[in-house]
């Protein structure tokens, strides 16, 4: 019986390890987004050190108007959604090797889910 419970727990972690906006808290995500807002805005189309995130959900990587992307990001051919944004936020350099983002990533799944919820609420949907 112990083996079955352990195997079930491991399988649940493996299958449920990705964060989604439905699991997140937008208010908590706004606080986590404070780590991002020196370089990004989500409520308007205004580039900073990083590209604007207004309408990022559904948008192709490397296509925010007026931002000078790395060749790696322009060639990544990613459509940003909860899964791809979540993976990128956890490990930006690993997910798109050679991109310019200096941020090391969010290590907690809860923080990723909260940021995703905040993006959906604050203007990140579009594409």
Classify residue 30: in a domain, yes or no.
yes
Classify residue 5: in a domain, yes or no.
no
Per-residue model confidence (pLDDT) at position 19: 63
pTM tops 0.75, yes or no: yes
Q: Are 46 and 115 in contact (CB under 8 A)?
A: no
Q: The tokens of 113 are what?
A: 């889910």
Which residue's structure tokens are 């956890």?
90
Per-residue model confidence (pLDDT) at position 3: 35
Q: Which domain holds residue 26?
A: 19-122
Mean pLDDT by 10 residues, the chain (127 residues): 35 44 89 96 96 96 97 96 97 96 96 96 79
Per-residue model confidence (pLDDT) at position 7: 34
Residues in the chain: 127
Classify residue 95: in a domain, yes or no.
yes
Classify residue 88: in a domain, yes or no.
yes
The tally of domains found in the chain comes to 1
Per-residue model confidence (pLDDT) at position 20: 57
Classify residue 77: in a domain, yes or no.
yes
Domain holding 82: CATH number? 1.10.760.10
Per-residue model confidence (pLDDT) at position 123: 87
Using alpha carbons only, how large is the chain's radius of gyration in Å? 16
Classify residue 9: in a domain, yes or no.
no
Per-residue model confidence (pLDDT) at position 34: 96
Classify residue 4: in a domain, yes or no.
no
Classify residue 104: in a domain, yes or no.
yes
């Amino acid at each position: 019986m112990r083996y079955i419970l352990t195997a079930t727990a491991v399988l649940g972690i493996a299958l449920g390890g990705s964060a989604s906006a439905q699991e997140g808290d937008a208010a908590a995500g706004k606080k986590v987004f404070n780590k991002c807002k020196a370089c990004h805005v989500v409520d308007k189309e205004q580039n900073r050190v990083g590209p604007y995130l207004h309408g990022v959900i559904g948008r192709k990587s490397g296509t925010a108007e007026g931002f000078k992307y790395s060749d790696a990001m322009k060639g990544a051919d990613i459509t940003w959604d909860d899964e791809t944004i979540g993976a990128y936020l956890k490990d930006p350099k690993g997910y798109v090797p050679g991109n310019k983002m200096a941020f090391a990533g969010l290590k907690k799944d809860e923080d990723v889910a909260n940021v995703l919820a905040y993006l959906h609420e604050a203007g990140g949907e579009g594409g």
